[in-house]
Amino acid sequence: MLQLNPPIPFYSIEHDDWGYALLVLDYSQEHNTLFLIALQKTGELWWIDNTKLRMTENWSLNRIYAKTT
């Protein structure tokens, strides 16, 4: 388990909400990495699989996402 300092902003596909990753839990090579995300809309804390997260947009790095439904 690793505490992220500073927290990293992420978008949760599953919750359709932005949040900040506070902790990372990496089980091993055979499993996905889990992030503890504090969601902005509700303030809830969720362990979310890395396959259900997206990084925030960053114009300076030309990382632009279109919201999918």
CATH of the domain at 34: 2.30.30
Q: Is residue 68 part of a domain?
A: no
The pTM assigned to this predicted structure is 0.78
Residue 29 lies in a domain: yes
In the chain, % of residues over pLDDT 90: 61
Asked if the structure places residue 66 within a domain, the reply is no
Type of residue numbered 23: L
- Pick the closest to residue 35 from 58, 55, 16 (CA basis): 55
Q: Is residue 58 pLDDT above 80, yes or no? A: no
- Range(s) of the domain holding residue 13: 2-61
In this predicted model, which residue has the larger pLDDT, 31 or 5? 5
The verdict on whether omega for the bond into residue 9 sits within 30 degrees of 0, i.e. cis, is: no
pLDDT, one tens digit per residue, over 14-41 is: 999 999 999 999 887 778 899 999 999 9
In a domain, 67, yes or no: no
Burial class (CB in 10 A: 0-12, 13-18, 19+), 19: buried
Number of domains in the chain: 1
pLDDT for res 69 = 43
Check if the beta carbon of residue 10 is closer than 8 Å to that of residue 56.
yes
